[in-house]
Amino acid sequence: MRVLLVSWAWPSHVRPLVPIGWAFRAAGHDVRFATQPRLAGAVTGAGLPAVSVGGDGDHTALLARAMRPIRPGPGPEPGRGTGKRLGLSVALAEDMAGDLEAFCRGWEPDLVLYEPTTYAAPLVATKLGLPHVRVLWGIDFHSPARAFENLAFAELCGKLGIGGFDSAGTLTVDPCPPSLQVDVPGRVLRTRYVPYNGTGTVPGWLCAEPRHPRVVLTWGVSPQFKGPDEWAAAARRMRALVAAIARPDRDLVVAVPSTDLLDGDLPAGVRLVENLPLHLVLPSCAAVISRGGAGTMMTAVAAGVPQVVVPEYFTDLVPAQRLAATGAGVLVEDDDPEPVRAALDALLADEAAAGAARRLRSEVAAQATLDETVGELLTLAGSR
């Protein structure tokens, strides 16, 4: 069977599709991964065949306009008017749809899988009558946008010759534990979350048990789409947080997309790592501090690690609130160092939080394996 995975070219959107691509390949099926050219290498680096669709526009500028911060930084506040998330999604779909349709007509996939913000996939699949499956990568904060999708994509639907579409697809594959998830529209197939945060080499220090409780501080890939002023502000925030939470009896790992974010001296005992996949380090951790991005949050959930979440964008709020409601994490609304330090100290001493994190990990493990999910999806494709 021919299976097509589709995502626009941003790492945190591409990576969640990789494990299910592996599962289809392991089951003997023909898999292709369509994305914009800039991340074709990331796809092939993960062991999947890549197909380039669309162009290589300035994603950094698009994201900076689309992501609305909770605490506005210097300069005009992003996220207003046509720069909101659906504006970004429309621009990406317009860029990808033509090439994606041409590829589908030539290759004739039996099944199309896509992440929630890559609208070119359900639009083209609707036009061609292909079964298409939305694959979530965490809490489904994006579903409320469904009420506005057909209006936002009306022009593109007209160009494609379709009267409308449903981004929820034929069904949704959901790896989020039920007690953490919100209501998900349509037919849902629950599956086990398999973390993939990119490729990397296991450092020697990670092969031994930590001498002290290990804590990871990370802000995911978000600093990469900040302008110079915002990058400098992010660096100041990270440095202040490191100074506040570093202790001689704590193994602090600061995970950054580029060590340029924190150049210069750091407190003794702090490990600064660049692009170390979190699925390698989090299983050895006692806690993680992050803005609550889906990749970080779900990797920590799968590892059973309690979390301190400091939301940076409005899209981070619902996941942070849901995690806090399970007891496995703490939501800190102020990104000043002292509240974060206090929350971390309390979390590390809270056995109830550790127990809640273990319960979430058990929920993840109880869901269907990826090979079982592949079997269900093959039945779906065959029935069409």
Per residue in 278-331, pLDDT (tens digit) is 999 999 999 999 999 999 999 999 999 999 999 988 888 999 999 999 999 999
Distance CA 315, CA 285 (A): 26
Distance CA 216, CA 292 (A): 13
204-365: CATH number: 3.40.50.2000
Decide if 222 contacts 185 (C-beta within 8 A): no
Which residue, 274, 271, 275, is CA-closest to 285?
271
Per residue in 131-175, pLDDT (tens digit) is 999 999 999 988 888 889 999 999 999 999 999 999 999 999 999
Which residue, 293, 119, 287, 64, is CA-closest to 197?
293
Per residue in 333-360, pLDDT (tens digit) is 987 999 999 999 999 999 999 999 999 9
Tokens of 170: 């034929």
Domain residues of the chain, as ranges?
Answer: 2-193+367-383, 204-365
pLDDT tops 50 at residue 361: yes
pLDDT tops 50 at residue 78: no
Domain 2-193+367-383 in this protein, CATH class: alpha beta
Decide if 295 contacts 197 (C-beta within 8 A): yes
Distance CA 366, CA 301 (A): 13
Cβ contacts of residue 287 below 8 Å, gap of 6+? 213, 215, 216, 305, 306, 307, 308, 344, 347, 348
Same fold across 2-193+367-383 and 204-365 = yes
